[in-house]
Amino acid sequence: MTAHDFEFESIDGDPLPMKKFEGHPVLIVNTASECGYTSQYQALQSLWSDYQKSGLIVLGVPCNDFGNQEPGDDIQIKQFCDSNFGVDFPMTKKVSVLGDDAHPFYRWVESEFGEAAAPRWNFHKYLVGPDGALVGMWPSEVEPLSDEIVNAVKELL
């Protein structure tokens, strides 16, 4: 199994199969609008703007699993991201990333890579390679524009 075997639903309600991103690196980030890390939306948008033409996909996955910091519905989330950070990278509908109700992608990450690979808070980042393999993961405190993440992305482009 790879990340390409999973499908999300876009924040607009359209199917969003990960297979669509085959051949591209994808940075998947569980997001929240009322978190101390919410300002990372700006860096995620910068990363997307800088590298999308080279093939990078940034995928925001809103969730309300940590401190109820994403209370809004999908329309409110999309408006918040657009009006506050100019987000135009793809986003999914709000999903759970923990426990039995977790989206299948997140259950796969945990089953394949162990409990320590599960997100511990909002803005946990996973880098999926062009072949769908999980090639990197970073906790919330690692900024999207950190050398560690940018260099990992560049290696895949």
Q: Which of 11, 35, 77, 109 is catalytic?
A: 35
Rounded CA-CA distance 110/112 in Å is: 6
The answer to whether residue 35 is catalytic is: yes
With b for 16 or more beta-carbon neighbours within 10 A and e for fewer, the 114-147 pattern comes to eeebbbebbbbbbbbbbebebbbbbebebbbeee
If 0-12 CB within 10 Å is exposed, 13-18 middle and 19+ buried, where does residue 6 land? buried
Task: Give CA–CA dist 17/50, Å, rounded.
Answer: 24
User: Under a CB-based contact definition with an 8 Å cutoff, are residues 59 and 28 in contact?
Assistant: yes
Q: Catalytic residue numbers? A: 35
